Structure 1
Amino acid sequence: MLAAVSVLMLGALLAPVTTASASPAAPEAPAPARIDLVLDLSGSMNKIDAGGQTRLAAAKQAVTRIIDTAPEQAPLGLRVYGATYTGKDKKQGCADTQQVLPVTAMDRAAREEAKKRVAGFKAVGFTPIGVSLREAAKDLGASGERRIVLVSDGDETCAPPPPCEVARELKAQGIDLAVDVVGFRTPSSARAQLKCIADATDGSYADADDADSLTDTLGTLFRKAWRTYHATGKPVVGSLDGCQNAPLVSPGQYLDKFTGGRNLYYKVKKRTDQRLQVSATAVAEEGYERGSIIVVAAGPPGDGEPRSWLREFDQSMGWANIISTGGRSTPGSGNEEPAPDDTGCIMVENKVTRSGDKAIPVELLVGIADKTTRSTGARTPKPRTGADAEGGFSFNSATPIGPGTHRQSIAVGEAPFWRVELQAGQKLTVKAGVDIPEDFVHSATTGWGVTVYDAQRESTTCNEDNDATELFAGRTGHIERVCGPWDITEQDGTQSPDPNGYDVPGTYYIQAQVAEPDAKAKGIVVPISLTVDVSGTPVSGNSPVFFFGDDAAHAKGPSPSGANQNADQGGTGEAGGKGAAGGTTVATKDDDSLGGELALPIGIGAGVLLLGGIALYALRRRGAA
């Protein structure tokens, strides 16, 4: 959506961003996991039972897809076994394992070379799984997060060494290495052996029967290592000692960091006849306390905490890896305290980290609604359906969807986002279901979580019980959560805020996740369905149109075809992803889908914040306090 606000007018009102420090503000993203794909090319891969084609042809299709969709920065290698020796000498056949692609970043040259190698694969030989695992561990080096993804269609034919013993041997070395295994058309006699490899290394196991299921399963396993919440924004360094030395921020999205329990401060220009939105999202990692809280506040600078314009906070809900909240100032100059020279102060209060904790990324979204834009319409993104409706992995890459049912598969530990445009007078119902297999690895806190965020990026109430996550309690089969129905209202300064959080029309975000802290379950692929129902008649009125900057707010969503599809993308809240000057969004380069580019992690995907919907309810304070 594109706010009809003159860039020149805003430029006169809002000064460009300056920072108090010349050093880069954004926390460095941890290096993406190094992954070695180990592919079975033994003679049995020539069987024609993989959906009308040979297992080899199906494997080539799936591996080529992984190569095509890997992010350029993601280190990927490829090892094969049984690919060259056609004889019957066991000693030679059991030494037949080669690294055909070194573990390297997938730039254009590496990608093309890898695909050429895959196209020339032949399946001819033995099945030396144990030896190949040992060599794959060497391929990955001795440091950082490493994963082996093994695709095999049968039993080891070269033991010793038995593959499960090799897996235990690698684990006993104390290195950060896990082995995920995909059994491709695997007979029951071999399945136990392959599962043992995954279990021994805290990896995961999945079955695949044809090219499509192998492609989906491999894609999800790779997503587990590469696709978690991807924080984006213009680098900024907030002041740690109040507003006096704080940088001035204009409408846009910024990336800062929480360190050592310190709050962040920024200056912002806003007249009393304008409305301000401030949203903050902390991308947390494992190990933070239950009940972590993030607070945003704004008001004139001065002694104490700025809060007369807005103050909102939210507490961790579910196992999602973010805590997000936001607020808007009330309309009209009579409801706000003026600031000297129209320069106010934004505070993001840090109750997530403590002294000595690792720094974590914080997204800051700043928007302004000017009275001259209140009656102006805004462009909405074109909803997606089918494969194009795969969830994204941040607010910025959330996939636009409309009413209807959307189906996909996700890995345990993923928490994809979708977005829905809503107007005052409409009613929202979200129904999200997951199908849990009989052999799912349960723990006491396993559950199905659904979170709805409003246009301020603040979590809303899902249902009357106010729980975000439903425990499985050992159940399998179809499990469903329903949020709503909720009426979308519009706070106009004359009514009390909706305590459920549905009083802000605009872009709503839906996040779904299988909450499972046990690492053994991470990567298990489960089918999900998301049904969105929007009913009611929009209420006409002069809704404010927030401007979030030329480069702020919203990136293109997932693009399974790999093509750029941002022509119809909108913004966060009511502002456009392309500003008045037509600038591209901050996350456009980074956030694609599995079919485009897989987002690199800046946070850990799951098992992060404690289960607020079960033992802990979100605390909400709406409006200035």
Structure 2
Amino acid sequence: MPSGPARIELVLDLSGSMNENDAGGLTRLAAAKQAVSRIIETAPAQAPLGLRVYGATYPGKDRKQGCADTQLVRPVTVMDQAARADVKQRVAGFKAVGFTPIGVSLREAAKDLAASATSGTSATTGKPRIILVSDGEDTCAPPPPCEVARELKAQGVGLAVDVVGFRTPSSARVQLKCIAEVTGGSYTDADDADSLTANLGTLFRKEWQTYHATGRPVDGSLHGCQGAPLVTPGQYLDEFTGGRDLYYKVKKRPDQRLQVSATAVAEEGYSRGSLVTVSAGPPGDGEPRAWLREFEQSMGWANVISTGGRSKPGSGNETPAPDDTGCIMVGNDITRPGDEPMPVELLVGIADTSTQKAGARTPEPRTGADAEGGFSFNSATPIGPGSHRQSIAVGEAPFWRVEVKAGQKLTVKGGVDIPQDFPKSATSGWSVTVYNAQRESTLCNEDHRSTELFAGRTGHFERVCGPWDITTQDDAKSPDSKGYDVPGTYYIQAQVAEPDDEAKGIVVPISLTVDVSGTPRRPDASPVFFFGDAAAQTPAPSAANGNGEHGATGAPAPSAEGEGSPTGSLAVPAGVGAAVLVIGGIAFYALRRRRAA
């Protein structure tokens, strides 16, 4: 399973035609330099990036030499500040002089990516991708570029090629579109420096700013509890295969409380009716459920389905397990036989009197540019009450986290400004989702919709979630039986989605306003769950390289955290799993759950 940010190699056309002065007052070469320099400047610190060019060194007419003119400028590795400065200097010196060996360059780029996968560094284990920028047809075939694309696809390594046609004539566009279609990539046109910069930025942003599923690798049993691995408090990364459920053993005394949360991450939007379940209890025939059971169902194009539950307090409220060893089941009603494996995060926590004394540790809230959302529960950006603004690309789904205590009330309002030239579509909309400390999604408001469809409208749109009265999960007077009133960390996810791809990559401004009112209850009897042995760390900074972009998380798993802090501090090195959240998926209706006894 690929992990970490996507490994991307940019392949840039520097053939003689790039000297044409028709790119909005610039030569095509100058426009390309501007766009590539911007990518280098804004690349996240942990995002693997390589650069290859063709047609850059041989100005003659000998076809053999001209068609071998392809060079690796920068291998596919993460960029520190010295590397950025070096590559930008090289880009500034580019000249466009030669032939157009697209097919040869694609083969060499695939080799570059393969070499990066065996380099032994955790930052170069994500899925491979080539982004090709060309202004014309291959002048060196054979090999025909589309046949090379088929070769790469047949290798079975998941390599896709995205293509940007820059001032491309219709005859060349057919060839370039074929490369993208055969490999499962995308094709876009660019006519000037601004559109080239925007299109390249969208492609890189799409691959790097995705849901980063993290956890210690584990292989759950597909055949029930008997042969299942034992999991202790912490976060794990597994995967759904076929239509098989996953089973794990867990140790829990009757005086302890257990939390189990499961998050499934799709590379394509979930179909209506997809279902994920978590349950736990003494092992036996069928589904273990005496301790807890929760499920979440997709009513549309959800990218992430997440649910979680906790056992009730007190030894008299549950069935004890032999030797205190119980069974966890993560039910899979999502994938089918023949489907690609799907990453699943499993979070396991224990609460008892010893963890209660540990106390909660929460990260310092961020403001301004540092408050840009992260891209998973684990990298959710900590914020406090107030308003926060940023811009997101259509299809991105950033996460924030806010701490709420018993006795307080939470209200979340999200806003987005849709420009007049936004593509008209019946399926585009604005979504705000709030998850509680168990990673359960809430019903945002009384109309039970998780998304407001634009329906061709433009202008300002708002979604208001809450207010929720935060009590305690075990408060007899609790008004909410589904756990939306649990004190702790609440996770906020915002998204502008376009499942039909028409608006994908368009950047729009959003606002997020969080209101936390009321006085925290004293004393707070909320249970404190323990989620791992490593020292607690705050989430990775959002401005990892000083430009506000997000790198891969690198913090270890946390120590004992408060009820609301099970995942905000929890991360493992970037090499331990990251999965792609496909840009554009969205759930049009609220994800609903039922609580079974």
Paired position in structure 1 for 2:76: 105
Unpaired runs of 5+ residues, structure 2, are 115-126, 154-159, 181-185, 547-552
Partner secondary structure for residue 119 of structure 1: helix
CA displacement 1:424-446 (0-9 Å, x = unmatched): 22222222222333343443321
2:526 is aligned with what amino acid? S
Q: 1:532, 1:439 → 2: CA distance?
A: 30
CA displacement 1:482-537 (0-9 Å, x = unmatched): 21222222121634661564221111111112222224533232222222222222
Contact 1:30-1:601 at 8 Å conserved across structures: yes
**TM superposition shift of 1:79:** 3.0
Q: Out of 24, 29, 35, which is 2:9 matched to?
A: 35
Counterparts in 2 of 1:442 and 1:30: CA distance versus 1, 3 Å:
farther
Counterparts in 2 of 1:261 and 1:457: CA distance versus 1, 3 Å:
same
Q: Out of 369, 373, 379, which is 2:361 matched to?
A: 379
CA displacement 1:153-212 (0-9 Å, x = unmatched): xxx7xx7899xxxxx98699777432247x9xxxxxx7999xx899996435689989xx
Percent identity of paired positions between Structure 1 and Structure 2? 54
Q: Where does 1:272-287 land on structure 2 (aligned, <5 Å)?
A: 272-286=254-268
Paired position in structure 2 for 1:587: 572
2:45 is aligned with what amino acid? T
Q: Does 1:603 align with 2:580?
A: yes
Q: Where does 1:87-166 land on structure 2 (aligned, <5 Å)?
A: 99=70, 101=72, 104-107=75-78, 115-122=85-92, 131=100, 137=106, 140-141=109-110, 146-148=129-131, 150=133
Counterparts in 2 of 1:560 and 1:543: CA distance versus 1, 3 Å:
same
Counterparts in 2 of 1:576 and 1:532: CA distance versus 1, 3 Å:
closer
Paired position in structure 2 for 1:79: 53
Partner secondary structure for residue 479 of structure 1: strand
Q: Does 1:618 align with 2:591?
A: yes
Paired position in structure 2 for 1:574: 563
Paired position in structure 2 for 1:23: none
Counterparts in 2 of 1:199 and 1:479: CA distance versus 1, 3 Å:
farther
Q: Where does 1:74-473 land on structure 2 (aligned, <5 Å)?
A: 74=48, 76-79=50-53, 99=70, 101=72, 104-107=75-78, 115-122=85-92, 131=100, 137=106, 140-141=109-110, 146-148=129-131, 150=133, 176-180=160-164, 202-204=186-188, 219-286=201-268, 288-316=270-298, 319-374=301-356, 377-473=359-455
CA displacement 1:336-366 (0-9 Å, x = unmatched): 2222222222111111122332221111111
1:618 is aligned with what amino acid? L
Contact 2:558-2:570 at 8 Å conserved across structures: no
Partner secondary structure for residue 474 of structure 2: coil
CA displacement 1:237-259 (0-9 Å, x = unmatched): 22222222222211111112212
Q: 1:440, 1:578 → 2: CA distance?
A: 36
Counterparts in 2 of 1:405 and 1:288: CA distance versus 1, 3 Å:
closer
Q: What is the Cα-based RMSD across aligned positions, in Å?
A: 4.6
What TM-score comes out, normalization by structure 2 length? Answer: 0.77
Greater shift in the superposed pair: 197-206 or 258-267:
197-206
Contact 1:431-1:482 at 8 Å conserved across structures: yes
Q: 2:536, 2:295 → 1: CA distance?
A: 20
Q: Does 1:543 align with 2:517?
A: no
Q: 1:554, 1:523 → 2: CA distance?
A: 32
Q: Where does 1:515-534 land on structure 2 (aligned, <5 Å)?
A: 515-534=497-516
Partner secondary structure for residue 187 of structure 2: coil
Counterparts in 2 of 1:415 and 1:169: CA distance versus 1, 3 Å:
same
Q: 2:561, 2:191 → 1: CA distance?
A: 39
CA displacement 1:208-251 (0-9 Å, x = unmatched): 989xx998875553121233222211122222222222222111
Q: 1:406, 1:84 → 2: CA distance?
A: 51
Contact 1:410-1:525 at 8 Å conserved across structures: yes
Contact 1:382-1:568 at 8 Å conserved across structures: no
What TM-score comes out, normalization by structure 1 length? Answer: 0.74
CA displacement 1:272-309 (0-9 Å, x = unmatched): 22111110111123275311111111112223322121
Contact 1:425-1:538 at 8 Å conserved across structures: yes
Paired position in structure 2 for 1:559: 542
**TM superposition shift of 1:90:** 12
Q: 1:31, 1:524 → 2: CA distance?
A: 21
Counterparts in 2 of 1:229 and 1:44: CA distance versus 1, 3 Å:
same
Contact 1:375-1:543 at 8 Å conserved across structures: no
CA displacement 1:296-324 (0-9 Å, x = unmatched): 11112223322121111111265442111
Counterparts in 2 of 1:483 and 1:104: CA distance versus 1, 3 Å:
same
Partner secondary structure for residue 388 of structure 1: helix
Q: 1:577, 1:491 → 2: CA distance?
A: 16
